[in-house]
Chain A
Amino acid sequence: DVKVTQSSRYLVKRTGEKVFLECVQDMDHENMFWYRQDPGLGLRLIYFSYDVKMKEKGDIPEGYSVSREKKERFSLILESASTNQTSMYLCASSLSPGSTEAFFGQGTRLTVV
């Protein structure tokens, strides 16, 4: 089975802190994604990566950056956390183009106080 693992289930951070959310997948997938999930808004794509060191902005990249130094790991970085970044963050991975399935991690619920 494909496994996508996010390093934390719950995080509480202070406004202005730098926050790292880590995601690792074990199936050699090329595509990796970060979404945030908010009630009534569904999933919104923050960034995605289709190869090592490659990244593309999604629909809501402002206030975030990403890093993909190794194929299996995709990190989401909040340079200076703000309260409006309190959300559930979901990482996903999929095979190269043509894949019909994205595999999701269990999510990280981030609270910024």
Chain B
Amino acid sequence: GEDVEQSLFLSVREGDSSVINCTYTDSSSTYLYWYKQEPGAGLQLLTYIFSNMDMKQDQRLTVLLNKKDKHLSLRIADTQTGDSAIYFCAEGEETGANNLFFGTGTRLTVIP
């Protein structure tokens, strides 16, 4: 499969911003996704961005895409304890979710 890399752990204080980073290798990616996995649960789609965009904002979430460097980031503003979870970056192609490649996941811990 394709290579999608993330750092494994991130700790932030409540109220600060969190930035979770991801790098990928497949230049033909059409979609790039952020999924959230809360303890004991499956993954839920947080947000996604098309590869022809460089930024997407959705309430407290900002996704930045640097296609030249193949770098994706997720910024969470005003991080709350409920944001503590594992965040997975994934990339996929036009042909659909059967070509989704996931990163290792970043465990975000929010310190009260």
Contact = CB atoms under 8 A, between A and B. Distances in A.
B43 A33 contact: no
A107 B1 contact: no
Question: Chain B contact residues: over half helix, strand or loop, or mixed?
Answer: strand
A7 B4 CA distance: 30
B1 A40 contact: no
A88 to B, nearest CB: 10
A97 B103 contact: no
Contact of A104 (B1, B43, B94, B95): B43
B31 A90 contact: no
B98 A56 contact: yes
Interface of A: 4, 31, 33, 35, 40-45, 48, 50, 56, 59, 90, 92, 94-107
Given A33-B97, A45-B1, A102-B97, A40 B104 contact: yes
Contacts of B48: 100-101
B45 A107 contact: no
Contact of B41 (A40, A95, A98, A107): A107
Contact of A99 (B6, B42, B96): B96
Given A92-B43, A103-B45, 11 more contacts: A31-B98, A43-B88, A45-B1, A56-B98, A92-B42, A97-B95, A99-B97, A100-B33, A100-B48, A106-B40, A106-B41
Nearest to A41: B104
